[in-house]
Amino acid sequence: MAASSDQDVRTERAPDPAGSVPTGGDGALLHALKLVREAVPPLHPGGRPVIAGVAVAAGALRLLTGRGTGVGLLATAATAAFFRSPHRVAPPRPGAVLAPADGTVALISEVVPPPELDLPREPVTRVSVFLSVLDVHVQRIPMHGRIRSVEYRPGAFLSADLDKASEDNERNALVLETQTGHAIGVVQIAGLLARRIRCDVAAGDEVAAGETYGLIRFGSRVDTYLPPGVAPEVALGQRTIGGETVLAELKPADATTGADLAVPA
């Protein structure tokens, strides 16, 4: 009997239980780097110049004094952490008004919206989320819809947890026309340490729930003005996760008022 050639021999390998995870030395290193990259949240573009400035200052201090390496690295890392913009997944809940920011619910009150929002002059529920310097400081869109207006107002820099900060502090206000036919006001408010408000949307922009639209640097507050008659689903002192925590739930406008107020195409 003739011996079988090596070319006639076929060995079928069992599927790799690790899936596509590489097993070689270089592959394991690449996989580890991928895991680290996925664990570290991306940075908001508005923070990159600030981080670069801190890093340059730390490097200059090290060159001039021969000291401060550890402090400089710590300061740079802390600044980078402040400008983190983690990935968020909006809950699949129709009509949900999502929290526009990470933080703590500091105030829930019935107030007349500020003039710059150009909303009906009647009391509505305002939910105020206070952001400490340790919180994520990017802001997120609360619902699918269209930006109706954006207006910036200069002002003071009082502590953002004070009620009068809504009227006295530097702030940036936008009105969102939602696909449910409502208008929601969202106001970025500077605080004691905040000296810069960034807003990356303009009137007429189509936006999606949970997407980032702005940034407030170093301690601040974000107010959400709910439509008339809508009750909040959060409590004072509750922690919110921007783009995920539900502040309230809206029903189609025609179901509550008898009018078709859908956002025009």
Residue 133 gets the label, from left (phi > 0), alpha (psi -120 to 50) or beta, of alpha
Q: Which is catalytic among the residues 85, 128, 166, 220? A: 220
Under a CB-based contact definition with an 8 Å cutoff, are residues 207 and 218 in contact? no
| Distance in angstroms between the alpha carbons of the first and the last residue of the chain | 80
Written as one letter, the residue type at 26 is D
Exposure string of 173-185, with b = 16+ CB inside 10 Å and e = fewer, is bbbbbbbbbbbbb
Please tell me the distance from the alpha carbon of residue 129 to that of residue 99, in angstroms, as a whole number: 8
> Exposed/middle/buried for 17, CB within 10 Å: 0-12, 13-18, 19+?
exposed
Q: Active-site residue 128, yes or no?
A: no
- Which residues are catalytically annotated? 220
